[in-house]
A and B are shown apart, each in its own frame.
Chain A
Amino acid sequence: MIYGSATVFTLLLVVTLSIKGSTGLQWIVSGLTVGSIYALVAMGFSVIYSSTRVINFAQGEFSMLGGMLMYTFASKAGVPVPLAFILSVIIVTLLGAGFERLAVHPLRYSSVITVIIVTIGFSIFLRAVAKWIWGSDPVKIASFSGDKPIRFLGAALVPQSFWVFGFTALAVLLVFLFFNRTIVGKGMTAAAANPDAASLVGISTSTSSLIAWTIAAALGAAAGIIIAPIKFAAYSVGTMLGLKGFAAAILGGLGSAPGAVVGGLILGVLETIAAGVFPSGYKDAVAFLILILVLLAWPQGLLGRRQDVMA
């Protein structure tokens, strides 16, 4: 089924390219940039979900905070970009880990749905605090390496897009390696699949949850920072990022890091092609209609495992 959907998607790209030529290529590269953003947020959802079965609705707010902190450090305080990046990620990561210890951990014997509702509350809280600190106007963050567009076969890309692509690739690789090649990562997957059995063999489900939240917060913050020069940062951007990221995670298969990336890229490209081909007002409707159709056919998502749905 993954090959089937990959074929359909490739076919769509080829048709777009052959009919629209360089305009089609422009749509695809723009879509891939937007899609990478969705993919990064989707990975945050997946990491927490695959370790704890919790859907963290504050994931988009981690990205928002990353962007706003970057603004404070890099644009306001004049801290060099790499240092500002690291500082912002560290602060958001500590916040994510702190939230896990203070709000999620005490609820470890409650149902998953309780924790999910707490994350919704947390997202509203973070949004309100951000608005209080930074105000409601969007702010600008300078691109990492200038704004001079790069032309490629008639399509134009801003240099920041390459940062987004590169970072997404790096992040998915690291997350994939962590969960599949390290003992801690494998232990976390086990703890999620069967908490009781995992505890019996000495895996701490509590530590596993903390690590997952830490990774997700760091991923979210970094995503927010890296996209801020393209999309502007504002207290309100987290909601949209969270929603689209969640849709991408579902599309790709919740709990699968490669799935999150595939879901994000497909959603981004579909949206842009839809805006180009159909009257642009139907852009979101078309993209989400396809999402619904895909999920009707494969409820576990493109790269999700079937038992994730059964669990």
Chain B
Amino acid sequence: MRKRFGMGASIVVLALFVALSITTFGCGTKVQKPKDFYKIGAVLSTSGPAAPLGQPEQRSLALLEEKINSEGGIDGVKVKFIIEDDESDPAKATVAINKLIKQENVVAVIGSSTTGATLAMVPVTSKEMVTLICCAAGTKITDPVNEWVFRTPPTDSMAIAKVISYLEDVLEVSKIAILHDANAFGTGGADELQAKAPDHDIEVVAREQYGSTDTDMTAQLTKIQQTPAQAVVVWGTNPGPASIAKNMQQLGMTIPYIGSHGIANKKFIELGGSAADGVAFPAGKLLFPSSIATGSDWRNAVDEFSAAYKEKYEMDIDTFAAHGWDAGLIITDALKRSGNDPIKLRDEIEKTKDFVAVDGIYTYSPTDHDGLNVDDLLMIKIANGAWTEVK
């Protein structure tokens, strides 16, 4: 930008910039507040294929902004979430985050909804030294840990760990088949499961895949039928896993069906009908509030969020609403301690400890930017078209 001005002008701009940074950021221990409001950016997939993820996240942030500002803001300063739509496109996510950082001067960024779009933004946040808290679950985002990148959702690894302990301790099986969506989510989950299963004396005897838009998976299932698999783990999101449940019913397959957290929604039951019965999958405890101790801070946080969301939008919360809400909460909490300084803010976010939010209880550290752990998840089993907790 500076190149467009002459030499003299650029010196003036530079001087102004230096002056500005002294007044705004300053030094010393006192928290520096912005003049008008704290600007927090968000890049979410509010349209395109990932819209079912991005839209509830956007709603949560709007709700959070309203709540914080009606309660007097952060130490008297109001908060503003500036939300950009990446249209579920990684390239557009990169454009959006650059705009937020360079034009809007946001203090931190939330997003994006999908692993692909998040990974596209990671280089930008490191280069510009602005924190990114993402709402996507792909393991690659925080492994290895990037100084500037945090996340709120439980990771795919945590879900896999939960599934493995279910296979090992509840079903007590030693041979499994994997059937996964050929997309990034399905392949990533299958890779991880295949890598971790042998540590628990579980042998993967078949690994098959299907396309997200496929209608019939009987060919893959007949192959699995011919192996000694005692259970089939299906890693994908709707509607594929529902088609598989129906195909298994059609073929008369009775081995247990374990799904991913991608089917932790009522839609799966609606699509699968009677074929969905008996399917088990990992999910955040917030989706099943009765699994959280009554009266605990966590339970209260879930109930309050759920009630406020329902009042404003006349909708039930879902896991994505929680990811967006928690990302907003963690940033606004850290802002109380850091003030309007992106670098200090990053340090304060990393110091977040035992912070009770909706997805779970967050503790970040220099080696852990995931925050949650396996105990924030539970296994749910579908019985007669309803969710039941697997103890």
* A associates with B: yes
- B369 at the A interface (CB under 8 A): no
Q: Name, among B219, B250, B273, the residue most crowded by chain A CB atoms within 10 Å (CB to CB).
A: B219
Would you give the shortest CB distance from B164 to chain A, in whole angstroms?
23
Docked complex: A123-166 residues within 8 A CB-CB of B: 136-140, 147, 149, 156-158
> Using an 8 Å CB-CB cutoff, how does the interface string of A215-253 with B read, 1 for contact, 0 for none?
000000000000100111010110110000000000000
Taking chain B's interface residues, is the majority helix, strand, or loop, or is none over half, making it mixed? helix
A residues in contact (CB < 8 Å) with B: 23, 26-27, 30-31, 33-34, 37, 136-140, 147, 149, 156-158, 227, 230-232, 234, 236-237, 239-240, 272-273, 275-276, 279-281, 283-284
Docked complex: B198-233 residues within 8 A CB-CB of A: 208-211, 213, 215-216, 218-220, 222-223, 225-226
In the complex, the number of residue pairs spanning A and B with C-beta atoms less than 8 Å apart equals: 90
Taking chain A's interface residues, is the majority helix, strand, or loop, or is none over half, making it mixed? helix
Partner of A280, one of B52, B210, B243, B270: B210
The answer to whether A276 touches B219 (Cβ under 8 A) is yes
B223's nearest neighbour on chain A, judged by CB, is A276
A234's nearest neighbour on chain B, judged by CB, is B239
The answer to whether A280 touches B251 (Cβ under 8 A) is no
Bound complex: CA A149 to CA B219 (Å): 16
The answer to whether B215 touches A227 (Cβ under 8 A) is yes
> Using an 8 Å CB-CB cutoff, how does the interface string of B237-272 with A read, 1 for contact, 0 for none?
011001100100111100000000000000100110
- B49 at the A interface (CB under 8 A): yes
The answer to whether B267 touches A27 (Cβ under 8 A) is no
The answer to whether A276 touches B222 (Cβ under 8 A) is yes
B residues in contact (CB < 8 Å) with A: 49, 51-52, 182, 208-211, 213, 215-216, 218-220, 222-223, 225-226, 238-239, 242-243, 246, 249-252, 267, 270-271, 273-275
A232's nearest neighbour on chain B, judged by CB, is B239
Bound complex: CA A46 to CA B243 (Å): 30
Chain A to chain B contacts (Cβ below 8 Å), 22 pairs:
A26-B218, A26-B222, A27-B219, A27-B222, A30-B216, A30-B218, A34-B215, A136-B49, A137-B52, A138-B238, A138-B271, A149-B251, A227-B215, A230-B215, A231-B243, A232-B271, A273-B219, A279-B209, A280-B209, A280-B219, A280-B220, A281-B182
Q: Name, among B208, B213, B270, the residue most crowded by chain A CB atoms within 10 Å (CB to CB).
A: B213
